[in-house]
Amino acid sequence: MKQFKFFLAIIVLMLGLVLTFSPFLKNMILDKKVHSLMEQIDTMDNVALEGNRKKVEAVEEVNELPSELDVLKGLSYKGEPVAFMYIPSTGLKLPIYKTVTKQNLLHGAGEMKEYDKLGKGNYVLAGHRMKKKGLLFHDVVRLNNGDKVYVTDKKKIYEYQVVHKQIIKENETTIMEENGKDEITLITCDIPSEPENRVAVSGDLINSFPFNEDFKNIE
C-alpha cells in the first residue's frame, strides 16, 4: 500500500510539472519550428513558391489557440509557403500559407482569401496571437501608424505602411472587402487567452521593388 501511494505521488508530481511547464515548452517548440521553416524558405526560389500557390489546399475553421496536442501533431509539419512577411519594428519574420488551417496558423500566417498574385487588392492575413512576445502574431496589436510591413514571393517585395488599427467582432467579415486600393490587413485575437474580439491592422501599399535578400536587414 505504501509503495502504491509513493508511485501515485510521483505521478501527481510529474503531471504537475508537465502542466506547469507545458506553456513554456509549447512556445519553445513553436519558436524553433517557425525558425526552421524560415530557414527552409531561404532555400526556396520564386518558382517553388509559385508552385505551392497552384496547389489545392484544404481550409479549416480555426477559432481557438493551438493546444499542446496540436503542437505535438505539428512536429512533422513541413508546410507549403507561398510567400513570407517581415515587420522591422517588431522583428517578425513568418511564412505565409495559402489557406487557414490549424497547422498553417500554428507555423505562420494564413491568407484569408484566394489570391493569384501579391500586391493587388486587399491582402488579408490571419495569425494567432500567442502569449509569448515575438511569437507568431503576438506583436501585431502593437503596430503603430507609419510602421512598415513587407511581403515577398521572392520575385517582388511589397512594402506596406500601417495607417489604421481597430477592434472588430470575431464574425465581422467586412474588413476583408475590397476598398478600391492595394492594401494589407492583418487580423489576430485581441488578447492571447479567451479572446472576445479581433484586432485588425490595415496598411497601404506604398512601394514594390525586385526581391533582394538584403531587404530582411531593413530596420
Show the cell assigned to 57.
489546399
Report the mean per-residue pLDDT for the chain. Answer: 83
The rounded average pLDDT for each run of 10 residues, N- to C-terminus, in the chain (219 residues) is: 54 43 68 84 91 84 70 78 94 92 89 92 91 84 95 96 93 91 92 78 96 73
pTM attached to this predicted model: 0.83
Model pLDDT, residue 19: 38
Catalytic member of 35, 107, 138, 189: 189
> Is 107 annotated in the active site?
no
Catalytic member of 35, 107, 128, 164: 128
Within 8 A by CB and 6+ apart from 93, the residues are 38, 84, 85, 86, 216
211 neighbors 154 (Cβ within 8 angstroms): yes
* Domains contained in the chain, CATH given: 23-217 (2.40.260.10)
State the Cα–Cα distance between residues 95 and 85, nearest whole angstrom: 6
Show the cell assigned to 143.
503596430
Model pLDDT, residue 95: 93
> Is 128 annotated in the active site?
yes
